[in-house]
Every structure is written in structure tokens, then in C-alpha cells.
Amino acid sequence: MATSGKKFRKRNYITLEAPVLYVNKSPVWMDRHWFPNFCDFLKDNHFKIKGIDILNQKIKVRFTDPDHVIMFGLMYDRAKEEKIF
């Protein structure tokens, strides 16, 4: 049940765990194939993104549409179960 007087706002980003660490203010990937495979996954599934922020042990993917966040989450979970990443 929605509360009256408040708008429901969807997020345009998702934060994922990634094999990356910062060493001397530079990102270092622990698995060199993870990020290219991740970018290929985004490209193959035609996701339009605004940008990717690399955090310590996580990445933040910003999408153009909040509905893409939901679709990405569902597809990523399925791909993760199949051990693609």
C-alpha cells in the first residue's frame, strides 16, 4: 500500500561486488577477465548505461532507465548462477 503524499522514486543505479581493490589510488582488478566479460554482458543484452563508477571491492552501474536496473538485476542473477562471472 502506497503512503499518501509521498512519491515513489526508482533508483537508476545498482551496486555490485567486483574483484577490484584500490592500491595507491589506482584500481587493480584481481581477475583480469571479469570486467571485459561484464562489459560484454551489458553490450550483448543491449543495456544503455550512463556510466560505471569503480569503488573498493564494488562497482556502481548507472542506467538511463530505472526499468533497466530491474531487468539487469534479474539477468545478472541468472548469469551469476551459471557461473559466467
State how far the Cα of 54 lies from the Cα of 51, in Å rounded to an integer: 10
Q: Is residue 60 part of a domain?
A: yes
Q: Is residue 63 assigned to a domain?
A: yes
Domain that holds residue 55: 13-81
Q: What is the DSSP letter of 3?
A: P
Q: What single-letter amino acid sits at 84? A: I
Residue 13 has pLDDT above 90, yes or no: yes
The amino acid at 66: P
Say whether pLDDT at 23 is over 80: yes
Task: Please report, for residues 16, 19, 64, 74, 82, the alpha-carbon distance to residue 85 in angstroms, rounded to integers and kept in the order given.
Answer: 12, 10, 23, 15, 8
pLDDT digit string, tens, across residues 50-71:
999 999 899 999 999 888 898 9
Does 38 reside within a domain? yes
pLDDT attached to residue 10: 73
Residue 58: phi and psi, rounded to 5, are -150, 160
**pLDDT at site 83:** 66
